[in-house]
Chains A and B, each alone.
Chain A
Amino acid sequence: MEQLKFDYPSANRRVSKKAHVGVVGSGDMEVLMEPAETGSAHVSIQTSVNGFGSSWKAVLDRFFARFDGAVRIHINDAGATPGSVMLRLEQAVEVIEQ
């Protein structure tokens, strides 16, 4: 079990909705995305697969290169691939930008 935390201070656009997508099945994950009160983005990850901190950072860097919402994200992960992580994050964005 590993807990990871990342901050993206440049993601500062105000959002008003929240989103929950995904199921913590094997090889999958859930994302909870909600407005952050701090005016920047914060990500916390709880994953059953240890030692992939740099992969998580790479995916999140890519995600926040395009997304600028000031959101608080929590992820419960049961071994999702970087591709699935990105897909789940995009699904959550779809919900909050509706």
Chain B
Amino acid sequence: MSIATVIPAFVTRESFIELEARERAQALMDPGSWRELVGPFDRIESPWLPMQSIAPQSDDGCVVLKGTIAGQSSVVIALEGGFQAGSIGEVSGAKMTAALDLATRDSQNGKKTAAVLLLETGGVRLQEANLGLAAISEVMASIFALRQYAPIITVIAGTVGCFGGMSLVAGISSYILMTREARLGLNGAEVIEQESGIEEFDSSDRALIWAIFGGEQRVGMGVADELLQDDAKEIAAAVQRCLKAGLPAVHRSQQIDLYRDRIAALDTSQQIEPLTLRKRWDSKQAKAKEGSAR
């Protein structure tokens, strides 16, 4: 009996969640194939944070690696959840947009270049408010442009999750991969409680938060594609599968009729039970209906 079979998988597994953004990005690329672009030593930092007595970071919390994944030209963009909750500011947004635009340019010139986004982010960085919001609209515009040529794969591993405007970035991606420790939504529970009251959402109810935003639910209800273990190798393999599959026939954010009908069918007189919704929106059913999507 080999050692590998007696040691349970979770012992030999390398956690992805415990890695910093830079290490996460590196774990997905072919070893030796990548270079970091506009890295920490270029020192392009947020000019707005120090004006508000907040320390900036030398990469503004956004790591861009260009290289190959299973031989295919790719750019991996990873947000560092440990810095300002992965929020999007002027610089981090510009780095994302620029990298996506260059991937589009290469793809148009015959060198198809896919993008992998590692999103750990609360959305707009409020200290850069309007430039953060503008940056998200520009990141989205760049994704729409690249998506005509090459897939965009969003990975949400945890533990920050993907919220605010950046949840739209996930929503327009070709694929969304999540772990059980990841959450995805437009407004977090705290924001809803603040804006609409505790009757609407009790943000201390952890079980409810996971039932609504958690990876298992999002994949189960078909608004994300694969549920993965917190294992760097497994996540890398899933990214490779998506790259191999290439562009989906229809992007999820273009399946308007399917989702519009589903929303119309909801009983809105009371709160919606997440598990019931998951069963009703089962992803296999969604695939069967894809033919009718626009």
Contacts and interface: CB of A to CB of B under 8 A. Distances in A.
Interface of A: 1, 18, 20, 23-25, 28-30, 32, 34, 46-48, 74, 76-78
Given A20-B41, A30-B40, A34-B41, A46 B55 contact: yes
B53 A1 contact: yes
B262 to A, nearest CB: 39
B283 interface: no
B20 interface: yes
B216 interface: no
A57 B215 CA distance: 47
B58 A74 contact: yes
Interface in B227-272: none
Interface residues of B, number: 16
Interface string B29-71: 0000000000111010100001001111110000000000000
B55 A47 contact: yes
Contacts of B58: 20, 30, 32, 74, 76
Most buried by B among A24, A30, A46: A24
B80 A23 contact: yes
Nearest to B84: A24
Contacts of B83: 23-25
A65 B36 CA distance: 34
A18 B41 contact: yes
A32 B55 contact: no
20 contacts: A1-B50, A20-B39, A20-B41, A20-B58, A23-B20, A23-B57, A23-B82, A24-B55, A24-B56, A24-B57, A25-B83, A28-B82, A30-B40, A30-B58, A32-B41, A46-B56, A48-B54, A74-B58, A76-B58, A77-B55
Contacts of B82: 23-25, 28
Contacts of B40: 20, 30, 32
A23 B121 CA distance: 15
Given A30-B58, A78-B55, 6 more contacts: A20-B40, A20-B41, A24-B57, A29-B55, A46-B55, A46-B56
